[in-house]
């Protein structure tokens, strides 16, 4: 199983000294370019637009990324048309792959701020730091999360204290989304059951040759019944 979005955001922010709050923000392609640059150090960072806010600018960033992939013979398709739409799932999957790739190669110390020296501030904002430079080996212990070449994985570090507010907010959002999902699932199951009841009433009406009035009356009871009772049933459905 790949890393969670919380773990991935923490990793990207630590590696690049940025403060992304959503996976979707990586759809500009800029962060992907710099992740590859942290490995090889030869991506055209002066042409990467961290402040991009238009799809055509995102595509330009991905073209730079594709050049880097080709140069280093990285055999991975970049689904540019999907990533630039800034959708969660597409970018999550690509970032999971990219982190795995990053973890399986030797990465030298890297100063992300210096590599972005000529860039305007990213739209998501650069994190403040009391240090002028950033050491890959001192700020993010690569060995603790690296996947060794023989296939054995090592446990992830605990989230850096500096990420605590972001992690807490993401957890809150996750809890709220789960609550909404549970509600939708209960509604789905409730109305599916209602549909089955309608089918049964209709089938019995045909088999027993009931009058149309009787069938309609029973269907009305199934569909509409008591409004208060219906709302209560939806809320309680699936909780017993």
**Complete DSSP assignment for 211-227:** -HHHHHHHHHHHHTS-H
- Looking at the predicted structure, is the pLDDT value of residue 119 above 70? no
Hey, is 126 helix, strand or coil?
A: strand
Task: Tell me the two tokens of residue 130.
Answer: 């009391």
Question: pLDDT tens digit string along 168-199?
Answer: 888 888 888 888 887 887 888 777 777 878 88
Report how far apart the first and last C-alpha atoms of the chain are (Å, whole number). 31
Question: pLDDT tens digit string along 53-109?
Answer: 999 999 999 999 999 999 999 999 999 999 999 999 999 999 999 999 999 998 999
From the number of C-beta atoms within 10 Å of its C-beta (0-12, 13-18, 19+), residue 138 rates as exposed
Contacts from 63-72 at CB under 8 Å and sequence distance 24+? 64/29, 64/33, 65/29, 65/32, 65/33, 65/36, 68/33, 68/36, 68/37, 68/40, 68/42, 68/43, 69/36, 71/42, 72/36, 72/40
- Per-residue model confidence (pLDDT) at position 120: 59
**Global confidence as pTM:** 0.52
Residue with the two structure tokens 């212990």: 141
224-233 mean pLDDT: 54
DSSP 27: G
- φ and ψ at residue 70, rounded to 5 degrees: -65, -45
Choosing among 1.10.418.10, 3.30.428.10, 1.10.357.10, 1.10.3720.10, the CATH entry for 5-118 is: 1.10.418.10
Question: pLDDT tens digit string along 147-161?
Answer: 333 444 444 455 566
- Per-residue model confidence (pLDDT) at position 222: 80
From the number of C-beta atoms within 10 Å of its C-beta (0-12, 13-18, 19+), residue 237 rates as middle
DSSP 47: G
């Amino acid at each position: 199983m790949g890393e969670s979005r919380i773990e991935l955001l923490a990793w990207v922010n630590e590696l690049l000294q940025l403060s992304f709050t959503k996976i979707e923000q990586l759809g500009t392609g800029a962060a992907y370019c710099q992740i590859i640059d942290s490995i090889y150090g030869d991506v055209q960072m002066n042409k990467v637009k961290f402040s991009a806010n238009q799809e055509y600018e995102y595509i330009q960033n991905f073209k730079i990324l594709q050049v880097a992939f080709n140069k280093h013979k990285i055999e991975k398709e970049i689904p540019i048309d999907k990533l630039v739409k800034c959708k969660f799932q597409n970018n999550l999957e690509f970032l999971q792959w990219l982190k795995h790739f990053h973890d399986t190669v030797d990465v030298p110390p890297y100063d992300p701020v210096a590599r972005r020296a000529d860039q305007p501030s990213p739209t998501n904002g650069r994190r403040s730091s009391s240090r002028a430079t950033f050491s890959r080996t001192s700020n993010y212990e690569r060995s603790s999360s690296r996947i060794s070449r023989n296939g054995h994985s090592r446990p992830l570090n605990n989230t850096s204290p500096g990420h605590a507010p972001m992690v807490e907010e993401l957890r809150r959002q996750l809890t709220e989304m789960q609550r909404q999902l549970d509600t939708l699932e209960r509604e789905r199951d409730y109305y599916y059951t209602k549909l089955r009841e309608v089918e049964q009433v209709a089938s019995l009406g045909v088999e027993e040759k009931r009058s149309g009035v009787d069938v309609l009356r029973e269907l009305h009871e199934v569909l509409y019944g008591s409004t208060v009772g219906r709302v209560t049933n939806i809320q309680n459905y699936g909780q017993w």
